[in-house]
Copies of this chain bind each other. A is one copy, B any other.
Amino acid sequence: MEEKILLGHGSGGRMMNELIHTLIREKLGADSVQLDDSAVLAVEKGEIAFTTDTFTVTPIFFPGGDIGKLAVNGTVNDLAVMGATPLYLSVGLILEEGFLLSDLGKIMDSMRRAADEAGVKIVTGDTKVVEKGKGDKIFINTSGIGIFHGPRQRRQIGPGDLILINGFIGDHGIAIMAERNGLSFSAGLTSDSAPLNHLISAIIRAFPDSIKFMRDATRGGLVAVLNEIVQGQGFSARLQEGQLPIRPEVAGVCDILGLDPLYAANEGKVVLVVKKEAGEAMVKIMRGMKEGGQAAVIGEMAGEFPGQVFSRTPVGGKRLLNLLSEEQLPRIC
């Protein structure tokens, strides 16, 4: 019989010690995960970025990744879009009684791989066990610390600035929905979960003065990010529908399930607002990198309809892209 998480694994006794030392810490990296109450980390004088995110995804394994990969990349990306270099992560686990130890092992392996790929260290952690029916297999909180190289600048966004994205829109959300709905033709559709810090670092180095805004488009999708930018402002965000990078498979699943990829979650996409003159060159740099193969200019900030996000259809029509009250999708991340 497969070994399962028991309430005793969360007890503070010997079972918990064994679980943490032989499985969790071993797999996350016994050389980096510190054992004291806090990890002790060296920092340079200056500013650090500090972020937290909790992951509660169903299913926990899906095409292109799992909840562990999401948890590492999500927090890495929250630091990267601030312009910080992600360095250190914490991992807080809530395990449901009965969860398979083998699945926990797979997820810890996946977190370690993702951390290695992003170049961050998991330095501290915590594990709690809840009764069956009081959780959902596994929830993961990752908090993260990054450092800034040089002073941070805030630049004013305005009409004429370009909107860029580093690749296909909506892959994660639609892959999860396809998986949940057992859509067999979805073969090949995978989550885009990926660390964005290397890509962002490359474009900051190449264009230190041209980036006005960066944000990873997760829950709420591209539309949520753009609404946040324009809300209460004297300008709008205008997308050009023909120019949006959307996989045919994603468009297909969206047609069948009645979803809009612009509102779907991404887990490896950054939305950038940049000075007009730098846009095309920045797209070129991103296209030369693993996480930016399908980068594109997808729209621009405009003076018309201030405070709104909208798209122009290929024939010149206008479609308003409001923030939804709730979610178009069942919860996916």
Contacts and interface: CB of A to CB of B under 8 A. Distances in A.
Interface in A28-51: 36-51
Nearest to A216: B37
A299 B143 CA distance: 38
A8 B326 contact: yes
A43 B47 contact: yes
B82 A327 contact: no
Top 7 nearest A-B pairs (CB, nearest first) are A12-B220, A12-B219, A8-B326, A11-B327, A45-B45, A143-B143, A52-B90
Contacts of A123: 50
B11 A56 contact: no
A134 interface: yes
Identical chains in the assembly:
2
Contact of A146 (B38, B47, B91, B215): B38
A316 interface: no
Given A15-B325, A40-B47, A54-B141, 10 more contacts: A14-B326, A17-B323, A38-B78, A40-B82, A48-B48, A52-B92, A56-B128, A141-B143, A143-B143, A145-B145
A94 interface: yes
A277 interface: no
A81 interface: yes
A115 B88 CA distance: 24
Contacts of A48: 40-41, 43, 48, 145
Given A8-B325, A92-B141, A38 B15 contact: no
Contact of A324 (B14, B42, B133, B146): B14
Given A41-B48, A325-B13, A92 B92 contact: yes
Given A37-B78, A40-B49, A43-B48, A7 B331 contact: yes
A260 interface: no
B47 A41 contact: yes
Interface size of A as a range? 35 or more
Contacts of A47: 40-43
A46 B323 CA distance: 43
B41 A44 contact: no
Interface in A77-129: 77-79, 81-82, 84, 88, 90-94, 123-126, 128-129
Contacts of A143: 52, 90, 92, 141, 143
A11 B324 contact: yes
A38 B124 CA distance: 19
A131 B128 CA distance: 20
9 contacts: A12-B220, A13-B325, A13-B327, A38-B51, A40-B50, A52-B126, A55-B128, A94-B94, A94-B139
